Amino acid sequence: MVLTKYYTFAKVDILQKLMYIWNELFSGIFITIILFIFFHIWTTIFAGKEVVQGFTLVQIMWYFALAEIGVIAIGEWIDQVGEEVRTGTLATFLLKPMNYVGAKFAVYMGTALYKLLILGLFAFSIVYSLVGSINFSAEHIIFTFVTFILANILNFVLTMCMGLMAFWFEDVSALYWMYQKSIFVMGGLLAPLDVYPIWFREIVQYLPFSFITYAPAKLFAQFNADMAIVTIAGQLVWIAFGVMALYFIYRRGIKQVVIHGG
């Protein structure tokens, strides 16, 4: 019964987005352009080579397909949380029989799955037309989907922590900017971590950024059962740490609601 309320939040948000589904056309065009550019860059890198840092051209393009979908599915919603904290809108949730963080999580995950479906059509179509397919299996698809979901849960927890920092900071957009750029570099969005120096890779592969983009995308491109287990374990560990931090920040923060928004 309790979960039904949160499901309704996600359902309403998705139905609203479906009314303006053509808005996703721009995101689809954007991801198509990005993948087309990456294709030509990596075609040059692969000139005369079949494998570069353990990837074939086919594998690295499918890697970028999922990585780009994952980042765009994440979206930028931290400003909304910050605004609700600063204006005191969050206080209205405290009067309702539901948790503010839970409601945000329901909407966030609904949006992520919606974008995965819509943007996946663009990304997978363009990559397939450029380099063809890779071998898929039921196990491959299931594990990749699980890591994609866990990656979004981890991202939600971390960004929600940053958004709720608005209880103490007037503008949290700078925090998100640094977080986003960390995902670009240390999360393997610009290039797989395999192309970086070994000392750098040994450090960043254990950070949460790599479990949001790099690990799920590499698992998708080069499926391995052992890699899947390690990826899921790493994601769960960081989610656990993130949830504890989020609980602490939220419990301390709601005491500031009267001060910030009355």
In the Cβ-directed half-sphere of 62, how many Cα atoms lie within 13 Å?
20
- State pLDDT tens for residues 233-255: 999 999 999 999 998 888 887 76
What does the pLDDT read at residue 86? 67
Smallest CA-to-CA distance from 68 within 220, 237, 195 is with 220
Q: What is the pLDDT of residues 31-50, one digit of tens each?
A: 889 999 999 999 999 888 88
Q: Is 19 exposed, middle or buried (0-12, 13-18, 19+ CB in 10 A)?
A: exposed
Give the burial class of 1: count Cβ atoms within 10 A of its Cβ; 0-12 exposed, 13-18 middle, 19 or more buried. Answer: exposed
Confidence of residue 261 (pLDDT cuts 50, 70, 90): very low
Q: Is the per-residue pLDDT at 152 higher than 50? A: yes
Confidence of residue 93 (pLDDT cuts 50, 70, 90): low
Output the six-digit token pair for 236: 């769960």
Residue 56 in tokens: 């074939």
Provide φ and ψ at 52, rounded to 5°. Answer: -130, 120
Distance in angstroms between the alpha carbons of the first and the last residue of the chain:
31
Which amino acid is present at 176? Y
CB atoms inside a 10 Å sphere around CB 202: 11
- Residue 97: φ, ψ to 5°: -80, 50
Residue 236 belongs to what domain range?
A: 2-260
Total of domains in the chain: 1
pLDDT class of 27 with cuts at 50, 70, 90: confident
Amino acid at 130: L
